[in-house]
Structure 1
């Protein structure tokens, strides 16, 4: 099973950082920063490692909500088994948003109106609801299941 940690970096202007997808053989697209969690590595530790790789030493504040997309059983034909967790961080930088992030280069900042499209590209149902609920304060702390 593939264990994936996604990092949602939000600005104080309520925009979300997307990075270029550098997967070989895939068309160019913008996605949430992500990476695989090692076999015994907790998802939160993987998210912190990915966050550091993306923003370097830029100051961030972590949220207390974790979106979980549990592995499907049985696995649909032609797909691999994957479990994904989404962690939300706030970028604590005042002023203009960076056009490049220290660890990932180019960055695109998108507002809430573009978040539903992000769900389909990352195969993370309800991630737009998770982000909106986090910003508006109506999702409780803890783990939240994403999708069916």
Structure 2
């Protein structure tokens, strides 16, 4: 008897960063604070989907994406055989948009407020990832993150 391989769902999240003001554009709704999820058409990679969304939502060019990528490894299959792989891509903005631009329910959150925040973030190390990128102690390239 053959066992079918589990299906893979790919999720891409795009975090817009305002480095001079040390703030991030995150969801303001109920639940954990998170960057907006980017729709990724079939056959489109994480980076291509993020570049398209950054351009459509905020008018950013492809070079605005940071070389640091958060990678959440594919989860174990849930009932129904679907695994989830997640990527976090960071974009920097020279002329940051106002809160409310892009997908609904986004607002600017100062990094310092996230560190002492009572709300969880997704991924859980979001503040550390951004601070490490800005301060230069996280190297360019992929890094594994906890996505709970």
Q: Same fold (TM over 0.5)?
A: yes
TM-score calculated relative to the size of structure 2: 0.73
Q: Does 1:89 align with 2:97?
A: no
The runs of at least 4 consecutive aligned structure 1 residues that moved more than 4 Å come to 27-30, 76-80, 116-119
Return 5+ residue gaps in structure 2 as ranges. Answer: 1-7
TM-score calculated relative to the size of structure 1: 0.73
**For residues 37 and 17 of structure 2, what CA distance do their matches in structure 1 show?**
15
Deviations, residues 81-102 of structure 1 (Å, cap 9, x unaligned): 21111111111117xx62332x
1:2 to 9, 25, 50: 9
Which residue is equivalent to 1:69?
A: 72
Structure showing greater radius of gyration is 2
**For residues 105 and 28 of structure 1, what CA distance do their matches in structure 2 show?**
15
Return 5+ residue gaps in structure 1 as ranges. Answer: 22-26
**For residues 119 and 145 of structure 2, what CA distance do their matches in structure 1 show?**
10
Which residue is equivalent to 1:53?
A: 56
**For residues 106 and 142 of structure 1, what CA distance do their matches in structure 2 show?**
29
Deviations, residues 89-135 of structure 1 (Å, cap 9, x unaligned): 111117xx62332x43664110123436698453x232222111111
Q: How many matched pairs?
A: 137
Q: CA deviation at 1:36?
A: 3.7
Q: Does 1:129 align with 2:123?
A: no
**Higher deviation after alignment, 59-68 or 134-143:** 59-68
**For residues 71 and 36 of structure 1, what CA distance do their matches in structure 2 show?**
18
